[in-house]
Structure 1
Amino acid sequence: MTPPLFSLCQRNSTLGGVEMTVGDRLMTGSDNGWKLIWNEDFEGPDIDLSRWDYDIGGHGWGNNERQYYTKEARNAYIKDSKLIIKAIQEEYEGSPYTSAKLVTRGKADWLYGRFEIRAKLPSGQGIWPAFWMLPTDPQLYGNWPSSGEIDMMEMVGKEPNRVHGTLHMGNPHIYKGGSFALAEGNFADHFHIFTLDWTPEQIRWYIDGELYHKSSEWYSRETEFAEPTPYPAPFNQPFYLMLNLAVGGYWPGSPDESTVLPQMLEVDYIRIYQPEDGKYGPAI
Structure 2
Amino acid sequence: MKRTVKINFGLACYFAVFCMFSCSKSDDSITPTNAFIPKINIQDATQIRATYGKTIRFFIYSSKATTNAVSVNYSVVDGTAVSPKDYAATSGTVSILPNQTQAFIDIDIKWDPTNLRHGALQFTVNLSDPVGCAIETSSAKGSITNEDGTYLSTDDAGYTTPLAYSGYTLAWSDEFYGTNLNSSIWNQEIGNNNGWGNNELEYYTNSLKNTFLSNGNLIIEARKESAGGYNYTSGRMTTQNKKQFKFGRIDIRAKLPVGKGIWPALWMLGANISSVGWPACGEIDVIELVGTYPSRITGTMHWKGVAGDRQLKGANYNLNTGDFSQQFHVFSIVWTLNTIKWYVDDQLFLTNTAADVGAANYPFNADHFLLFNVAVGGDWPGSPDGTTAFPQRMFVDYVRVYN
TM-score using structure 2 length: 0.57
* Deviations 1:158-216, CA, capped at 9 Å, x for gaps: 10000000010123211110110000000000000000111102101100011011111
Name the counterpart of 1:116: 251
Q: Does the 8 A contact of 2:188 with 2:236 survive in 1?
A: yes
Q: Percent identity?
A: 42
- The residue correspondences of 1:187-198 to structure 2 (distance < 5 A) are 187-198=324-335
- The residue correspondences of 1:64-103 to structure 2 (distance < 5 A) are 64-103=199-238
**Which residue among 184, 205, 210 is the counterpart of 1:50?**
184
Residue 223 of structure 2 aligns to a residue whose secondary structure is strand
State the alpha-carbon separation in 1 of the partners of residues 164 and 211 from structure 2. Answer: 32
The count of residues paired between Structure 1 and Structure 2 equals 239
Residue 379 of structure 2 aligns to a residue whose secondary structure is coil
Aligned residue type for 1:215:
N
**Which residue among 292, 296, 321 is the counterpart of 1:184?**
321
Aligned residue type for 1:66:
L
Shift of 1:29: 5.6
Matched, 1:243 2:367: no
Name the counterpart of 2:287: 153
Residue 327 of structure 2 aligns to a residue whose secondary structure is coil
Name the counterpart of 1:169: 303
- The residue correspondences of 1:24-63 to structure 2 (distance < 5 A) are 30-58=164-192, 59-63=194-198
State the alpha-carbon separation in 2 of the partners of residues 71 and 125 from structure 1. Answer: 24
Distance 1:238 1:260, change over 3 A: same
Residue range with higher mean Cα deviation, 167-176 or 255-264: 167-176
State the alpha-carbon separation in 2 of the partners of residues 131 and 178 from structure 1. Answer: 15
**Structure 1 segments of 4+ aligned residues over 6 angstroms from their partners:** none
**Which residue among 266, 270, 275 is the counterpart of 2:395?**
266
Q: Does the 8 A contact of 2:221 with 2:392 survive in 1?
A: yes
* Rg larger for: 2
Tell me the C-alpha RMSD between the 2 structures: 1.7
Shift of 1:70: 0.4
Aligned residue type for 2:223:
I
* Larger RCO of the pair (alpha carbons < 8 Å, separation 6+): 1
State the alpha-carbon separation in 1 of the partners of residues 165 and 388 from structure 2. Answer: 42
Q: Does the 8 A contact of 2:271 with 2:281 survive in 1?
A: no
* Deviations 1:233-284, CA, capped at 9 Å, x for gaps: 211110000000000000000000000010000000010001xxxxxxxxxx
Residue 235 of structure 1 aligns to a residue whose secondary structure is helix
State the alpha-carbon separation in 2 of the partners of residues 119 and 137 from structure 1. Answer: 27
State the alpha-carbon separation in 2 of the partners of residues 206 and 83 from structure 1. Answer: 21
**Which residue among 236, 253, 257 is the counterpart of 2:386?**
257
Gaps of 5+ in 1: 1-26, 221-226, 275-284
State the alpha-carbon separation in 1 of the partners of residues 348 and 365 from structure 2. Answer: 22
Q: Does the 8 A contact of 1:219 with 1:234 survive in 2?
A: no
Aligned residue type for 1:62:
G
Residue 384 of structure 2 aligns to a residue whose secondary structure is coil
Residue 257 of structure 1 aligns to a residue whose secondary structure is coil
Aligned residue type for 1:235:
F
TM-score using structure 1 length: 0.81
Q: Does the 8 A contact of 1:28 with 1:34 survive in 2?
A: no
